[in-house]
Amino acid sequence: MKRFLLPLALFFVLVAFLATGLRLDPREVSSPLVDKPAPAFQATVLARPEFILRRDDLLGKVWLLNVWASWCSACRVEHPVLIDFARRGGVPIYGLNYKDKREDGLGWLRQFGNPYRDSLFDPDGRIGIDYGVYGVPETFVIDSKGVIRYKHIGPVTPDVLRDTIEPLLRKLNA
């Protein structure tokens, strides 16, 4: 009989996880990195393989870091929102092209438009690990001192932008 109880036991383990998952919002996991300095990086830029961008190059301004990939279907959902945000001006968005191929990423931007000032190229996900990337897409707000002020997991929606990110940006830029 014991052997036949195994499926039931496994099922309950699964249920425990699903129940925990219900209480967590996949889009609102607080990151241990919030209010800590953004991890340093040094990466080539997607469109210009010969150009290296460092975190310290971006000190002195407030900016958004958006993690994306051409294989990520949810990124397609948020993409028009970012395009619209970039079009309205405001703070620059830097992309982090995560675990992707250069030509795929570039093709994707040509196809759907490019809201990014530049995209860091992170083919093996190393920068992603430093930033505790949990899934794609994710968006970080980083202030002029290079400190992460907010992290959003999942697609950025117009509501999130209006109610959370933009008020924070106004505060940081004030």
Partner 1 sequence: MIPELGHIILLLALGVALVQGVVPLAGAQRGRHDWIALARPTAYLQFVLVVLSFICLTASFVRHDFSVLYVASNSNSALPLPYRIAAVWGGHEGSLLLWVLMLNVWTVAVARFSRSLPQVFVARILAVLGLLAAGFLLFMLITSNPFERLLPAAADGRDLNPLLQDPGMVIHPPMLYMGYVGFSVAYAFAIAALIGGNLDAVWARWTRPWTSAAWIFLTFGIGLGSWWAYNELGWGGWWFWDPVENASFMPWLAGTALIHSLAVTEKRGSFKAWTVLLAILAFSLSLMGTFLVRSGVLSSVHAFATDPRRGLFILAFLVLVIGASLLLYAWRAPSVGLGQRFGIVSKESMLLVNNMLLAAACAAVLLGTLYPLFLDAMGMGKISVGPPYFDTVFVLMMAPLMLLMGVGPLMRWKNDELTGVARRLRWAFALAVVAALATGWVAGQVAPATTGGLVLAYWIMASIGVDLLERLRPRSGLGGSIVGRARLLPRAMVGMMIAHLGVALFAFGVAMVKTYGTERDVKMGPDSSTDLAGYHFRMVSVRNVDGPNYAAAQGLIEVSRDARVIAMLQPEKRIYRVQNNPMTEAAVDSNLLRDLYISMGEQLPTGEWVVRVQHKPFIALIWIGCLVMMFGGGLAASDRRYRSRLTRDAMLRPAVLGGRAR
* Residues at the contact surface with partner 1, assessed by CB under 8 A: 1, 3-5, 7-8, 11-12, 14-15, 17-27, 29, 31, 69, 71-74, 76-77, 80, 99, 106-108, 110-114, 128-129, 132-136, 154-155
Cα gap 30→172, rounded to integer Å: 20
Minimal distance in Å, beta carbon 71 to partner 1? 5
For partner 1, give the closer residue by CB, 27 or 168.
Answer: 27
Q: How far is CA 55 from the centre of its chain?
A: 16
For partner 1, give the closer residue by CB, 62 or 128.
Answer: 128
Minimal distance in Å, beta carbon 147 to partner 1? 20
Minimal distance in Å, beta carbon 77 to partner 1? 6
For partner 1, give the closer residue by CB, 4 or 50.
Answer: 4
For partner 1, give the closer residue by CB, 11 or 51.
Answer: 11
